[in-house]
């Protein structure tokens, strides 16, 4: 872990004055893939929303590339190279695939090369350039959401449950694509309930439960941990 790209220190956050996240801390090094594992309601989404400025933390700090971005407006975080793909994707349903992608590069710098890059990574998007995003299948929409995030040439890709609503085969394909991105040196922070899949990809991981980090270690350590095996890998 040479260079630290993201440092989350003691962050608490929630909604309507009610904290869901209680002092979570994690780091992501340059070029690393880091997984956050936890069940529904553990606070994964709140953690990510706090990182990218969609929720203002009630305590703690978020540093991105050494700069304090705590509470920074989402669009500024995005422009500084932090791309977030929420589980609900938030695509623009009545815009074409191409328009969705071009918006990902807003304010539209170096979009032509990036378009080529994502069409190469996801050929299916290239075939459906003019289709409305809302008319695509769940798997294609997930692809588009990731591709849109890549359009801004992010330094950190933050993915919240990228396999939500995908059939097992498509989930595996999605992780294959993420593996390709990893090989190209992209730094990724990913939250996932499909623990075997994500531990196959990640270098390190954190286990989040009831808004607190309960456990951390390398992917192998976590995969061997009896507690993780029991709770998330279905091994008794």
Partner 1 sequence: MTAVLLDGVVLGLQLGLLGVGLTLVYGLGGVLNLAHGQIAVLGAIVIARATNAGLSMGVAILLGLLSVGLFGLLVDLTLMRAVYRLSGESRVLLGLLLMLGVGTIIDGVLEWRYPIEALSVRITGAPVSVLGVAMSRGALMASAIALVAGFLLFIFLQFSAFGRATRSVIQDEEGARLCGVSPATVRSTIFVLSAVLAGLVAVTRSMTAPITVTSGFGLTILALVVAVVGGLGSVSGAFLAGLLLGIVNTVSAFTIGSYITTIVLLAAAAITILIRPSGLFGGRT
Binding residues vs partner 1 (CB under 8 A): 52, 54, 73-76, 78-79, 83-86, 89-95, 99, 102-104, 106-108, 148-149, 152
**Rounded to 5°, angle at Cα 47 from 30 and 8:** 45
* DSSP SS3 for 132: strand
Minimal distance in Å, beta carbon 210 to partner 1? 26
Q: What share of the chain is helix, strand, coil (3-state, %, to 5)?
A: 40, 30, 35
Minimal distance in Å, beta carbon 145 to partner 1? 9
Instruction: Give whichever of 73 and 167 is closer to partner 1, judged by the CB atom.
Output: 73
Minimal distance in Å, beta carbon 221 to partner 1? 33
Beta carbons within 10 angstroms of residue 70's beta carbon: 18
How many whole angstroms separate alpha carbon 192 and alpha carbon 110? Answer: 31
Instruction: Give whichever of 146 and 207 is closer to partner 1, judged by the CB atom.
Output: 146
Instruction: Give whichever of 37 and 140 is closer to partner 1, judged by the CB atom.
Output: 140
Instruction: Give whichever of 35 and 87 is closer to partner 1, judged by the CB atom.
Output: 87
Instruction: Give whichever of 45 and 205 is closer to partner 1, judged by the CB atom.
Output: 45
Minimal distance in Å, beta carbon 140 to partner 1? 16
* DSSP SS3 for 187: strand
> Backbone phi, then psi, for 164, in 5-degree steps?
-55, 125
How many whole angstroms separate alpha carbon 223 and alpha carbon 210? Answer: 20
Minimal distance in Å, beta carbon 132 to partner 1? 10
Instruction: Give whichever of 89 and 128 is closer to partner 1, judged by the CB atom.
Output: 89
Q: State the distance between the two ends of the chain, measured CA to CA, in whole angstroms.
A: 33
How many whole angstroms separate alpha carbon 57 and alpha carbon 68? Answer: 13
Minimal distance in Å, beta carbon 225 to partner 1? 33
36: left (phi over 0), alpha (psi -120 to 50) or beta: beta
């Amino acid at each position: 872990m040479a260079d630290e790209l993201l440092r989350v220190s003691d962050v608490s956050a929630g909604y309507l004055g009610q904290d869901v996240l209680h002092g979570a801390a994690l780091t992501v090094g340059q070029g690393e893939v880091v997984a956050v594992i936890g069940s529904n309601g553990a606070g994964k989404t709140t953690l990510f929303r706090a990182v990218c400025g969609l929720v203002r933390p009630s305590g703690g700090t978020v540093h991105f590339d050494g700069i304090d971005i705590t509470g920074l407006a989402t669009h500024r975080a995005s422009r500084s190279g932090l791309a977030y793909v929420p589980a609900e994707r938030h695509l623009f349903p009545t815009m074409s695939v191409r328009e969705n992608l071009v918006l990902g590069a807003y304010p539209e710098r170096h979009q032509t090369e990036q378009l080529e890059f994502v069409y190469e990574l996801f050929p299916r998007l290239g075939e459906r350039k003019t289709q409305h995003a809302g008319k695509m299948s769940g798997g294609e929409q997930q692809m588009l959401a990731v591709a849109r995030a890549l359009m801004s040439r992010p330094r950190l890709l933050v993915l919240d449950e990228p396999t939500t609503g995908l059939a097992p085969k498509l989930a595996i394909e999605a992780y294959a694509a993420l593996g390709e991105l990893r090989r190209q040196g992209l730094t990724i922070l990913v939250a996932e309930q499909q623990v075997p899949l994500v531990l196959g990809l990640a270098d390190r991981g954190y286990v989040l439960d009831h808004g607190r980090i309960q456990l951390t270690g390398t992917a192998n350590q976590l995969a061997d941990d009896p507690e993780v095996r029991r709770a998330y890998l279905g091994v008794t």
